[in-house]
Chains A and B, each alone.
Chain A
Amino acid sequence: MTETKDRDIYEKISKEDVLKKLTEIFEERNVTNKSGDLYPYSYDMTECEPHMPDFIVIPENALQLIELVKFCNSNLIPIVPFISGNNVGGLTIPENGGILVDFGKKMNKILHVDDNMMYALLEPGVTFGQLKKHLDENYPHLRYSYPFAPPYAGVVGNVLLSGMNNLSCKIGSMGDSINGLEVITADGEIVRIGSCFYGKDEAAPDSWWCRYPMPDLMGVFINWQGMTGLVTKCAVQLWPNPPIKKTYLAIVFGLTDVAPVMREVSRTDIIDDISAVSIEVVKMAVELPIPTKFSGEPDFASMFSISAKTKKQFKAKEEILFNEIENLNKQGKNVILVNADEFVKLFNLRVRCYLDLPSVVLPLVEYSGLTWFGSYAPSHKLEELIEKVNKLFNKHNITPFIYMKMMKSGHYAIFRPIMRYNKFKEGEEERYHMLLEEITDVCIDLGCIPYKTPAWMTEKMRKKINPGWINLFEKLKKFMDPNNIFNPGRWNT
């Protein structure tokens, strides 16, 4: 196992020489080593330990990055990719120092939207808000999908880390939405992967339409947290934007009853998105300072989004949904279905932050700290997960915030206990981290697989993963990045 160790990068080459080289590649105004500039990149909203980078660079094109990679590879200097720093996992904290590459500032163009084969070709820095605006204005008959995250979060990061969005009940993990990548590997080669692989020098803009059927090299860059190369372009699938859209809110009484509701409704194969939040999260969204659940209040609120091309199709889907809810109530569950748009008008428009994605949930981002255990989960374990995690929250006297989704019409689920906290309050970070660790242990024990994993979490996972997988993983990492320059430290490399 490659050990994480402190590297003395500047033994081989001095910091000044590095600065000189970077200035040569990127120009002075796109390079910095000043503490005041470096500081915001040294930490994120999580409790993961901060670490200063040595340099920030703002690239404009792939050619600059090729030079950078070659230089860093021969001098063993770490490279950490950064888009907007909104991942909840410490993934852009440069644990071993080195050079942080900020794609978000300049490499953020929407290069091409293909109307016919429905995809968007993007640079890594494109944000959700940017993409939504572009589509709404220029391709209103097409849509992308958006996560429960702010509009300034990055699209490419979300797909490369198999995120989940508001079409995920229909389309599953965002990892399945990638049509093509352009990447730079450790030896400075530029590689185009997917149907865009045709063309010696460059790909035609209309050629980024599919991941298959050639040998699937794309997997080498998915969920690798930037450990295997630098992605410079990414093509993601779009979908038709149907004229009729409606969201329902299902209010569920009974702590674990939300689980069968989500399972059964997702299997109907008519829902675009299913997510569920603890009622405390709903109360938090309407800015109750201490959002406690009182007896008699429902335990969970679940949202189902449906869309259709015609009124007839919509009515047919609605009928199926109503029948399913009726069945569940007959079986003894206590579920009330309401029209979400109408409900929030009466209840509180702020709750629209769950409906209009991408969105900023102010009460989450106002706190200085946010962390979570975000995982893909086996759906038959949801009841047990809810019960056990709820107990842990209560044990630590912290308000339970649980977020769940059903994916790809019921094939798997997302289970995500969330914690917001005050970073600068004495003892808070430790307290929350302890809770997070206990939650991690319980969830992994029940088969959950965390995504966007910080290194302390992957360390726990390594104890449980079959040695064959670890072997293959390490072999591939070493092969792709023999000098361990790409985001070293992730997955304890």
Chain B
Amino acid sequence: MTVIKQRNIFEKISKDNVYSKLLEIFGSDYVTNKDVDLYPYSQDMTENKPHMPDFIVIPESKEQLIELVKFCNEYSIPIVPYTTGNNVGGLTIPDYGGIVVDFGKKMNKILHIDDNMMYALLEPGVTFGQLKKHLDENFPTLRYSFPNAPPYSGVVGNALLSGMTNLGAKIGSMADSINGLEVITVDGNVARIGSCFYGNDKAEDDSWWCRYPMPDLLGLFVNFQGMTGLVTKCAVQLWPKEPIEKPQLVVFFGLTDLGPFLREVGRADIVNDVAAFSVEVAKMEVGIPEPVKYPEEPFYTAVMPMTAKTENQMNAKLEILKDIIEKLNKEGTDIHLIDYSEFAKIFGLKALNIYNLPSQILSLHEYSGLTWFGAYAPTHKFEELIEKTDALYRKHGVPPFNYLKIMKGGHYGIFRPIIRFKKFTDQDKIVRLLEEIADVCIDLGCIPYKTPSWLTAKLRKKINPGWISLFEKIKHCMDPNNIFNPGRWNT
């Protein structure tokens, strides 16, 4: 196992010489080493330990990045990719200093939308809001999807880290939506992966339509947190936009009623997504600053985007949904279905904010800190996960903020306890709670995504040695000098 150690980057080459080289590559407007510029990149909203980078660069083209990678590889200088810094996992905190590459400022173009084969070719800095606007205005028959995250978070990062969006119940993990990548590997090579691999110098715009069927090199860059190379282009699948939209709201009066509901509704293959929240989160969303659940209130609420091509199709879906709820209630649950748009009109349009973009819960952002244990979860363990984390929240006197989803037609779930906190007062308590939650969830088979290093250290104890061996070997093969986001997964 590669030992985490402090590196003295500027032994081999002086900081000044690095700076000169960066200026040469990127131009003086796009390089900085001033503390005041570096500071915002040194930390994020989580409890992960901050660390100052040595430089920020803002690239405009892949040619610049090729030069950067070659240079950094020669001198073992860490490179940390950054889009918007909104990941909840400390993934862009440069644990070993080095150079943070901010794609968000300039490498943020929507390069091509293919109407026929339904995909978008993007630079890494493209945001969800940007993509939605572009499609709404220019390709109104197509849609992408978006997560319950701010509109200024990055599309490519979400896909490369197998994020989940408001099409999760239909299409599953966003990693399955990647058609192709252009990456720069440690030797300065540019590789185009996927159907776009044809063409010695460049790919046709209309050639980014599929990940298969060649040997699947794409996996080398999925969920690797930037540890194996720099992604400079990414093609993601789009979907037809359906004209009939009738989102639904579901409320759950039994603590664990959500479990069977998610499983049944997932399998029925009728909703685009199920985003379920503890009622405390819903109350926070509609403006109650310190939400507490009262005994009579439901435990959970779920927002379910539903679309269809025709009214008949929508009515058929709703009929199936109502039958499922009726059946479950006969078996002892207490679940109720409400038309979401109508409900929100009467009871508070703020409730729609989680459904539409901007899809953000402001009260989450108002606190200085946000962290979570976000995991892919086995669906038969939902009840146990809810009960056990509930107990932990109470033990620490923190309101339970859980978020659950069902994915890809019921094949797997998402379980995500969320914690907002005041960075400079509550941090220790929150760190303890988060660790306990992590232990309980991992023990029940959950697999966290967007993992900070303290979490991967826990995972390593449970993962089969063969996997760890292969993973480390591949990392070493792809990045022998450990320049790409060193420290992630304890490398």
Q: Do chains A and B touch in the complex (CB under 8 A)?
A: yes
Contact B175 A479 (CB under 8 A): no
Give the residue name and chain of the B residue nearest to A315 (CB): B312
Shortest beta-carbon distance from A203 to chain B in Å: 8
Contact B376 A222 (CB under 8 A): no
B189 interfacial by beta-carbon distance below 8 Å: yes
B449: chain A residues at CB < 8 Å are 212-213
A313: chain B residues at CB < 8 Å are 313, 316-317, 319-320
- Cα distance A99–B340 when bound, in Å? 62
Residue interface mask B328-371, A partner, CB < 8 A = 1: 00000000000000000000000000000000000000000000
Contact A310 B474 (CB under 8 A): no
A312: chain B residues at CB < 8 Å are 312, 315-316, 319
Can you add 5 more A-B contacts, CB < 8 Å, to A376-B213, A466-B192, A467-B189?
A195-B378, A224-B216, A267-B118, A319-B313, A472-B217
Residue interface mask B275-314, A partner, CB < 8 A = 1: 0000000000000000000000000000000001110110
Please judge, given known A-B contacts A213-B449, A449-B213, A466-B197, whether A176 and B176 are in contact too, CB under 8 Å: yes
- Cα distance A410–B118 when bound, in Å? 8
Looking at B34-42, B74-82, B409-417, the stretch in contact with chain A turns out to be B409-417
Please judge, given known A-B contacts A447-B204, A447-B207, whether A491 and B215 are in contact too, CB under 8 Å: yes
Leading 3 A-B pairs by shortest Cβ distance: A219-B219, A451-B213, A468-B191
B193: chain A residues at CB < 8 Å are 469, 472
List CB contacts (< 8 Å) of B160-200 with chain A: 161-162, 173, 175-176, 179, 185, 187, 189-193, 195, 197-200
B92 interfacial by beta-carbon distance below 8 Å: no
A191 interfacial by beta-carbon distance below 8 Å: yes
B469: chain A residues at CB < 8 Å are 189, 191
A197: chain B residues at CB < 8 Å are 463-464, 467
B218 interfacial by beta-carbon distance below 8 Å: yes
Shortest beta-carbon distance from A55 to chain B in Å: 26
Shortest beta-carbon distance from B234 to chain A in Å: 14
B462: chain A residues at CB < 8 Å are 198-200
Interface centre among B161, B203, B216 (most CB of A within 10 A): B216
A207 interfacial by beta-carbon distance below 8 Å: yes
Looking at B20-28, B123-131, B250-258, B262-270, the stretch in contact with chain A turns out to be B262-270
Give the residue name and chain of the B residue nearest to A210 (CB): B412
A429: chain B residues at CB < 8 Å are none
B224 interfacial by beta-carbon distance below 8 Å: yes
A263 interfacial by beta-carbon distance below 8 Å: yes
Please judge, given known A-B contacts A116-B379, A173-B212, A175-B216, whether A468 and B185 are in contact too, CB under 8 Å: yes
B214: chain A residues at CB < 8 Å are 223, 449
Give the residue name and chain of the B residue nearest to A467 (CB): B200
List CB contacts (< 8 Å) of A443-471 with chain B: 444, 447, 449-452, 464-469, 471
Contact A216 B219 (CB under 8 A): yes
- Cα distance A215–B477 when bound, in Å? 15
Contact A191 B189 (CB under 8 A): no
A362 interfacial by beta-carbon distance below 8 Å: no
Shortest beta-carbon distance from A25 to chain B in Å: 20
- Cα distance A356–B378 when bound, in Å? 33
- Cα distance A240–B266 when bound, in Å? 10
A38 interfacial by beta-carbon distance below 8 Å: no
List CB contacts (< 8 Å) of A275-327 with chain B: 308-310, 312-313, 315-317, 319-320
Chain A interface residue bracket vs B: 35 or more
Residue interface mask A473-486, B partner, CB < 8 A = 1: 10110010000000
Contact B473 A479 (CB under 8 A): yes
- Cα distance A490–B36 when bound, in Å? 54
B17 interfacial by beta-carbon distance below 8 Å: no
Shortest beta-carbon distance from A315 to chain B in Å: 7
Please judge, given known A-B contacts A118-B411, A316-B310, A468-B185, whether A206 and B213 are in contact too, CB under 8 Å: no
Contact A161 B213 (CB under 8 A): yes
B211 interfacial by beta-carbon distance below 8 Å: yes
> 26 A-B residue contacts at CB 8 Å?
A189-B466, A197-B464, A198-B463, A199-B462, A209-B379, A212-B175, A212-B376, A213-B375, A214-B223, A215-B223, A219-B222, A220-B216, A220-B470, A227-B215, A268-B240, A269-B239, A270-B309, A375-B213, A409-B240, A410-B240, A447-B195, A466-B190, A466-B197, A469-B192, A469-B193, A472-B220
A127 interfacial by beta-carbon distance below 8 Å: no
B119 interfacial by beta-carbon distance below 8 Å: yes
A310: chain B residues at CB < 8 Å are 316, 319-320, 323
Report which of B118, B161, B195 forms a contact with A376, defined as CB distance below 8 A. B195
List CB contacts (< 8 Å) of B86-131 with chain A: 116-119
Contact A215 B376 (CB under 8 A): no
- Cα distance A451–B214 when bound, in Å? 7
Contact B320 A309 (CB under 8 A): yes
B309: chain A residues at CB < 8 Å are 268-270, 320
Report which of B210, B219, B263 forms a contact with A116, defined as CB distance below 8 A. B263
Give the residue name and chain of the B residue nearest to A196 (CB): B464
Shortest beta-carbon distance from A416 to chain B in Å: 12
Report which of B162, B179, B200 forms a contact with A466, defined as CB distance below 8 A. B200
- Cα distance A76–B445 when bound, in Å? 40
B467: chain A residues at CB < 8 Å are 191-193, 197, 217
Give the residue name and chain of the B residue nearest to A491 (CB): B215
Report which of B117, B379, B464 forms a contact with A379, defined as CB distance below 8 A. B117
Interface centre among A378, A451, A468, A479 (most CB of B within 10 A): A468
A204: chain B residues at CB < 8 Å are 445
- Cα distance A92–B199 when bound, in Å? 30
- Cα distance A175–B161 when bound, in Å? 19
B149 interfacial by beta-carbon distance below 8 Å: no
B380 interfacial by beta-carbon distance below 8 Å: yes
A190 interfacial by beta-carbon distance below 8 Å: yes
Contact A117 B213 (CB under 8 A): no
Interface centre among A189, A193, A204, A378 (most CB of B within 10 A): A378
